[in-house]
């Protein structure tokens, strides 16, 4: 009897240990192979956009109340825009000034073109005068040579008394007159050449000035483009004084009031977009056969007795712990295995009841019908 009293507890303990190890080894496969996967770690979610200011200014008007429905493009907050309108007008005036400078430079270029044409005409006129003076010098040179030869001939004749002194004196006077004439013609040629050189210099200076005007023209055009960019910046800043709804939805609580001074980046109001979905946080062991597109039944705690239908849209690429501010680091001396939760996004079917009544944050119970290999029946509830 004493041996039996010892053997029975040992056998019972061995059977219990075997059952424990068997259940522990098979639990994960049982849990991941069920025909329905259920979790109550699920909540209604929606896109929430905190709307902030891009500029500093004073709140002039709030066009919405807390929790009001709004449409896309609807004005929510209006900042005082007097300073930004003035900046825009100043930018436009600066652009007009730059354009006027460009117009003045264009007029100066026309005047300079006229000066270039005048210098070119002066060169032609001076060249003609030089040619005429050269011809006059050549003609006078022929007369000088002729009178010099005649003078030598008369001087030879007077030595032999074959001519009179009066005729010799006449020839000498002619020779002196033509010598003076050629000197005058050479002076005219020198003046014509000097005028030609001056015309060339004037043309070079006019062309240099024209090139400088072209360079200034480019500077004015660049300045105009800069002024246009300044106008765009001023218009953008003016547009930032109007904070509008980027999509249809409902606004949350207002964070500013009329007359309040706001700075860039300050949150003024929250927008909850219209479309909602369900975020169900399943255990990693429940995702074995869950696929995208699987049907799901959703029960919202706020509306008991109503079953909504949807389908799996996406399965998160990582567990929720990986997106935490301080992700876990298991590479330490002590380790305790914890089953992780993975978010599953479920979208509701079109025409689903409770449309417009669901609010982000509502708790839900979600049952997914996996499309993968299904074995066994029943449900797993977390």
* pLDDT score of 381: 39
- For 159-218, the pLDDT digits (tens) are 666 556 666 566 666 666 666 666 666 777 777 777 778 778 877 888 888 888 888 888
Q: How far is CA 259 from CA 60, 63, 78, 242, 376, in A?
A: 6, 14, 11, 15, 65
Buried-exposed string 6-31: b where 16+ CB fall within 10 A, e elsewhere: eeeeeeeeeeeeeeeeeeeeeeeeeb
For the ranges 64-68, 194-198, 306-310, the maximum mean pLDDT occurs at 306-310
> What are the residues whose beta carbons fall under 8 Å from the beta carbon of 224, sequence distance 6 or more?
95, 98, 99, 102
Between 91 and 169, the more confident residue is 91
82-159 helix and 165-239 helix, angle to the nearest 10 degrees: 170
* pLDDT score of 172: 67
On the question of pLDDT at 72 being above 70, the answer is: yes
* pLDDT score of 151: 62
pTM of the predicted protein model: 0.63
Please state the rounded mean pLDDT for residues 230-246: 94
* pLDDT score of 203: 78
Distance from the first to the final alpha carbon of the chain: 46
* pLDDT score of 18: 64
Question: Which residue segments constitute the domains of the chain, with CATH numbers given?
Answer: 35-80+249-380 (2.40.30.170), 84-238 (1.10.287.620)
* pLDDT score of 125: 78
Q: How far is CA 376 from CA 29, 32, 36, 39, 356, in A?
A: 11, 10, 10, 18, 38
The partner residues of 273 in beta bridges, in order of sequence, read 249
Please state the rounded mean pLDDT for residues 265-271: 92
- For 101-160, the pLDDT digits (tens) are 989 888 888 888 888 887 777 777 777 777 776 776 666 666 666 666 666 666 656 666
H/E segment holding residue 370: none
Do residues 257 and 59 make contact, with C-beta atoms less than 8 angstroms apart?
yes
On the question of pLDDT at 331 being above 80, the answer is: no
């Amino acid at each position: 009897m004493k041996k039996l009293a010892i053997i029975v507890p040992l056998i019972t303990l061995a059977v219990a240990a075997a059952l424990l190890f068997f259940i522990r080894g098979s639990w994960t496969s049982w849990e991941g192979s069920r025909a329905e996967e259920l979790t109550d770690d699920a909540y209604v979610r929606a896109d929430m956009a905190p709307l902030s200011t891009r500029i500093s200014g004073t709140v002039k008007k709030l066009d919405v109340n807390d929790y009001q429905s709004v449409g896309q493009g609807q004005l929510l907050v209006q900042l005082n825009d007097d300073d930004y309108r003035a900046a825009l007008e100043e930018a436009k005036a600066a652009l007009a000034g730059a354009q006027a400078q460009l117009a003045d430079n264009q007029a100066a270029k026309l005047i300079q073109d006229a000066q270039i044409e005048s210098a070119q005409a002066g060169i032609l006129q001076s060249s003609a005068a030089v040619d005429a003076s050269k011809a006059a010098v050549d003609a006078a040179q022929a007369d000088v040579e002729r009178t010099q030869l005649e003078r030598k001939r008369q001087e030879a004749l007077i030595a032999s008394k074959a001519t009179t002194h009066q005729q010799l004196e006449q020839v000498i006077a002619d020779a002196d007159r033509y010598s003076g004439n050629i000197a005058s013609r050479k002076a005219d040629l020198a003046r014509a050449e000097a005028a030609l050189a001056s015309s060339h210099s004037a043309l070079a200076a006019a062309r240099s000035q024209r090139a400088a005007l072209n360079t200034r023209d480019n500077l004015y055009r660049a300045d105009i483009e800069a002024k246009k960019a300044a106008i765009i910046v001023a218009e953008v800043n003016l547009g930032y004084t109007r904070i509008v709804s980027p999509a249809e939805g409902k606004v949350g609580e207002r964070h500013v009031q009329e007359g309040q001074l706001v700075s860039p980046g300050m949150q003024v109001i929250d927008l909850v977009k219209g479309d909602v979905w369900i975020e169900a946080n399943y255990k990693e062991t429940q995702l074995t056969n869950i696929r995208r597109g699987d049907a799901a039944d959703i029960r919202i705690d706020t509306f008991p007795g109503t079953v909504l239908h949807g389908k799996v849209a996406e399965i998160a690429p990582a567990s929720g712990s990986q997106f935490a501010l301080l992700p876990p680091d298991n590479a330490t001396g002590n380790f305790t295995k914890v089953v992780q939760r993975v978010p599953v996004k479920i979208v509701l079917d079109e025409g689903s009841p409770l449309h417009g009544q669901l609010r982000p944050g509502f708790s839900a119970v979600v049952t997914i019908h996996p499309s993968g290999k299904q074995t066994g029946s029943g449900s797993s509830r977390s």
